[in-house]
Structure 1
Amino acid sequence: MTGIRFCAGLLAAAALLAPAQAAEPPAPLTLRDAVRASLAANPDLAGFAFELRAQEARTDAAGLRPAPTVSASVENVLGSGEHGGLNTAETTFALSQVVELGDKRRARVGAAQSGRELIAVTEQAAQLDVLAEVTRRFIHVAGDQEQLTLTRNATALARETVQAVSARVNAAKAPDAELRRARITLARAEVEQEHAEHELGTSRRKLAAMWGDGEARFGAVTADLYTLPRPAPFESLLARLDANPDFVRFASEARLRDAEIRLAEAKRRADVTFSGGLRHLEETGDQALVFGLSLPLGAGRAAAPAIAEARALRDLSAARRDAAAVRAKAQLYALHQELRHAITETELLRGTVLPQMTGALDETRYAYERGRYGYLEWVEAQREFIAIRRSLIEAAVNAQVFQAEIERLTGEPLAAQP
């Protein structure tokens, strides 16, 4: 979609938009500018760098071998009889080392690396979420700009109506009640214009919040709402679902669960601890070497619950992926249908209904000024004209938003961003 389609491949290379100088009007904002600023400084994306650093530290820790242990012990001291004091003391200095069996170190590193891949894919999905959200907010700002222009036109039309009715009242061709009603309509139009101004200000701030700015320091957004997207066939969109980072994330999570299963299974083989050292016998003054070996029993039974848990979590991940795929397909179909409807509605309103309504409004005004139509007919024609233009704006906004939602769901833009 020309002018407002986001590109999932844009890089966060640009810094935040600079505040405009006081003597110059703020520069207009394009979607490309908004996307770059959001990818560079979105608060929700800032934490992933720290998560990756933390996971890299876990990977380094997983690759460490068990550290050797130094121990010292003293026996046969402070007893009774000939064992009193230190006369028969036996002092032993030993060094022990755990030897991991079952390739546990490689399994730990593999699980840690799979965890890092999962974080990286989650970051990609979060970036797409930011791209989709900044696009939605950008479109809403563009729509609110159009709505404000429409309300200003409605206010100007109501003001012209007051002048026309006033001329007829002064010429004794219309009662005073029509002038009062025209002034009431003008007052209501001014209230709606003020409300539209507030709505635009709010949507602009929401857009600026996407790159962490508390104020909207940009000018009008530049977008052509009426350059409508061309919907791709549903089957081709369906084929793109697997490329969505949300589903890639499920695949990464499955690899993580498989790595956790391998690690849990490796723990079924017990580690062996070797020790060796020197013993000093105080009573004879002799020295002797000591050696030891220890092997825990029941390692397989102790590892069984962890293996069962890891396998259950892997099955849970697969079940969640299947459920997400069903929801995504249904959502994609609904969005595709809504997009086609919004495009049809926009084209019909813009190409057929609005031109006819414009002609009808001109004819009604002409007839009112010559006394062939009454005030109610003219005001009703104005209301229908404003309502049709408002519906046109809403339909065009819906078409662009539905397109952005489809792009987010399929994980890639349907056309290149200019």
Structure 2
Amino acid sequence: MKTNPLNTTLNKMTVVVAFCLYAQSALSIEPMSDMTLKQAIQNTLEKNPELKKYPFDIQYQQALSQQAEIKPLPELSIQAEELVGTGDYSLADQTQLTLTLSQNYEMGDKLQHRLALSQSKEDSKRLEFELAKIDTVAETSRRFYEVIYLQNLSGLVSENLVKQKSLLQKIDRLAQAGIANPVDQNRIHFLIKQSNHQLLAISKQQNLAKVRLSAMWQSDTEINRVIGSFKNSSVIPSKKELLDQIENSPAQLHYLALQREADYNLKLEKAYGVQDITYSFGIGHKAAEDAQTLNFGISMPLAFGNPNQGRIEAAKIKLQQSQSLQTESTQKLKLEVIEYWHSLQSMQSLLEDIKSQLLPESKKLISTSLAAYQRGSTSLLQVMEAQQIWFELKTQQLELYKQRQLTLLELERLIGIKPAAE
């Protein structure tokens, strides 16, 4: 039996191609990997560049808190009087030497208010860090769910493509029997190519979405696919439940921390308006009498008005501003929560209507129109319209799932809890 040279060549080429593919896979430095939302959030918290600066800010403020604990240092001074002169004072016989130790005592509880202000600034930095984490995790989740949406959309288009190919097979059978219109065949061929084009476009969008997701932790590792789904629950948290959480929301706690900081700053500025007292104790030596003396002194500035009045007024304005911002932010947050709650109610109603009413009717429409087409009592156009109605409903349903998930995510970001619908 003779060997076909063409088959031999093809076999060799197959071996070479397989070897090249294996070598390429083996030499790949960072293979593609699957990714869950938990892994994405963990990577973000560990490697996000925007979050890395906050530990340094906190350490910086801790160093300033350490500095705030330092009290005024005692001062040691030596003073020589009548060291040289004329007449009886020419030979330093009348010199008086005084060694003085002085200590400044802070009045008005300056140390206590300074420490309180420094600690409040440190607390504010920590809360800023927590807020940054919440915002960054929310952005990571948004990008993750965008990939989920595109994956599901790709699956939906693929499912629609399978239905189109199945319809094409039925039309081909009818064409063989001589009862199908060639225009119908061309039409369904075009729809199949259109679906393939849509799959290609979604694939490109997925690649970009995965790159944007991995950019949250500055990684160039390719993500194969993300693992997860949209939460499919009909339970929506009540409006009262959401509004009750506003008081303890991260944003509100941060505003309260800034308000405390402004209050401590005002108290410190008032304390700086209280004059400090300096006590001194010294030993003097008179050379003429060869005698020693003890000296004691007390001093304080003479202020006929508050020397810190301007800073006190500025601190009062800052406190009033922080109180005003806190009040306004509370009202703004309430309105946002109410708006999101109404959006959830609307989306939930639409989803229930699509699931219980529209989708069953669309499937019935597909079945009846296809049967009518096979009997020759309707056109392919009506069959394709019925199929397109089903596809558009499924696409609308997927879009609503995505929007509901993002709304729940935004509520979680604003009020700092995971709503009951999760």
Q: TM-score, normalised by structure 2?
A: 0.79
Q: Deviations over 1:93-145 (max 9, x none)?
A: 65543221111111100111111222222223333323433333332222211
The residue matched to 2:412 in structure 1 has which SS?
helix
**Number of residue pairs matched?**
396
For structure 2, list consecutive stretches of 5 or more residues without a partner in the other structure: 1-26
Tell me how far 1:317 sits from its aligned partner: 1.0
1:367 aligns with 2:367: no
Closer/same/farther in 2, CA of residues 343 and 309 from structure 1, 3 Å limit = same
1:338 corresponding residue in structure 2? 343
2:383 corresponding residue in structure 1? 378
Inter-partner Cα distance in structure 2 for 1:406 and 1:364: 44
Q: TM-score, normalised by structure 1?
A: 0.80
Trace 1:282-301 onto structure 2 (pairs within 5 A).
293-298=298-303, 300-301=305-306
Inter-partner Cα distance in structure 1 for 2:71 and 2:231: 64
1:15 corresponding residue in structure 2? none
1:358 corresponding residue in structure 2? 363
Inter-partner Cα distance in structure 2 for 1:86 and 1:165: 127
1:238 aligned to 243, 247, 258, which one?
A: 243
Inter-partner Cα distance in structure 2 for 1:226 and 1:237: 18
Q: Deviations over 1:28-81 (max 9, x none)?
A: 443333333333333333222222211111111111001234556778899999
2:126 corresponding residue in structure 1? 120
Inter-partner Cα distance in structure 2 for 1:371 and 1:125: 65
1:410 corresponding residue in structure 2? 415
Tell me how far 1:355 sits from its aligned partner: 2.3
Task: Check conservation: 1:228, 1:400, Cα contact below 8 A.
Answer: no
For structure 1, list consecutive stretches of 5 or more residues without a partner in the other structure: 1-20
1:303 corresponding residue in structure 2? 308
Task: Check conservation: 2:259, 2:322, Cα contact below 8 A.
Answer: yes
Higher mean C-alpha deviation, range 139-148 or range 318-327? 139-148
Inter-partner Cα distance in structure 1 for 2:98 and 2:275: 27
Tell me how far 1:178 sits from its aligned partner: 4.7
Inter-partner Cα distance in structure 1 for 2:392 and 2:91: 104
Q: What letter is aligned with 1:102?
A: G
1:313 corresponding residue in structure 2? 318
Inter-partner Cα distance in structure 2 for 1:146 and 1:416: 21
Closer/same/farther in 2, CA of residues 346 and 115 from structure 1, 3 Å limit = same
Inter-partner Cα distance in structure 2 for 1:226 and 1:354: 20
Closer/same/farther in 2, CA of residues 233 and 288 from structure 1, 3 Å limit = same
Q: What letter is aligned with 1:341?
A: S
The residue matched to 1:219 in structure 2 has which SS?
strand
Inter-partner Cα distance in structure 2 for 1:52 and 1:300: 38
Two-structure CA RMSD over aligned residues (Å): 3.8
Trace 1:136-151 onto structure 2 (pairs within 5 A).
136-151=142-157
Closer/same/farther in 2, CA of residues 198 and 70 from structure 1, 3 Å limit = farther
2:205 corresponding residue in structure 1? 199
The residue matched to 2:226 in structure 1 has which SS?
coil
1:55 aligned to 53, 57, 61, which one?
A: 61
The residue matched to 1:220 in structure 2 has which SS?
strand
1:247 corresponding residue in structure 2? 252
Task: Check conservation: 1:91, 1:279, Cα contact below 8 A.
Answer: yes
Tell me how far 1:409 sits from its aligned partner: 2.4
1:9 corresponding residue in structure 2? none
Task: Check conservation: 1:228, 1:396, Cα contact below 8 A.
Answer: no
Trace 1:11-410 onto structure 2 (pairs within 5 A).
28-70=34-76, 95-159=101-165, 177-217=183-223, 219-223=225-229, 225=230, 227-275=232-280, 293-298=298-303, 300-410=305-415
Closer/same/farther in 2, CA of residues 345 and 296 from structure 1, 3 Å limit = same
Closer/same/farther in 2, CA of residues 260 and 24 from structure 1, 3 Å limit = closer
2:14 corresponding residue in structure 1? none
The residue matched to 1:365 in structure 2 has which SS?
helix
User: Which protein has the larger Cα radius of gyration, Structure 1 or Structure 2?
Assistant: 2
Tell me how far 1:26 sits from its aligned partner: 5.9
Q: What letter is aligned with 1:42?
A: N
Higher mean C-alpha deviation, range 407-416 or range 189-198? 407-416
Tell me how far 1:82 sits from its aligned partner: 11
2:21 corresponding residue in structure 1? none
Closer/same/farther in 2, CA of residues 79 and 260 from structure 1, 3 Å limit = same
Closer/same/farther in 2, CA of residues 229 and 119 from structure 1, 3 Å limit = farther
Closer/same/farther in 2, CA of residues 387 and 226 from structure 1, 3 Å limit = farther
Q: Deviations over 1:357-413 (max 9, x none)?
A: 123223333433443322332332232222111001011112222222222222211
Q: What letter is aligned with 1:316?
A: Q
Higher mean C-alpha deviation, range 152-161 or range 87-96? 87-96
